[in-house]
Amino acid sequence: MDNVALIGMASIVMAGLTIAIGSIGPAVGEARALAQALSALAQQPDEANTITRTLFVGMALVESTAIYCFVITLILIFANPFWDYVKAQAGG
């Protein structure tokens, strides 16, 4: 197996692992945040606007981690910085 195929295979495997593992954490975090917000709403229904607003801001911050993992995955697949180096070393 040549270096170009090895870099391609490693990039695809790492892209898959990045998006798989990088989406588990935010999903668990969002589920916990939602469960706590529903519990808080059940205990204090008068504070629904404040709790909901804070929940949405928190969800956006938690979701940004999954978005960063998605961006890294796209870079590994479509704009891999190692491709040019490996092609130059291989003479192609």
Q: What is the pLDDT of residues 31-44, one digit of tens each?
A: 999 999 999 999 99
| Domain containing residue 44: CATH number | 1.20.20.10
Task: Report pLDDT digits (tens) over 49-82.
Answer: 999 999 999 999 888 988 999 998 888 888 887 7
- Any domain includes 77: yes
What's the pTM? 0.71
Residue 27: inside a domain, yes or no?
yes
Query: Is residue 36 included in any domain, yes or no?
Result: yes
Does 60 reside within a domain?
Answer: yes
Number of domains in the chain: 1
pLDDT score of 12: 87
| Domain assignment of residue 92, yes or no | no
* Among the listed residues 10, 19, 8, the one whose alpha carbon sits nearest the alpha carbon of residue 70: 19
The number of C-alpha atoms within 13 Å of 55 and in the hemisphere containing its C-beta is 18
Domain that holds residue 42: 3-86
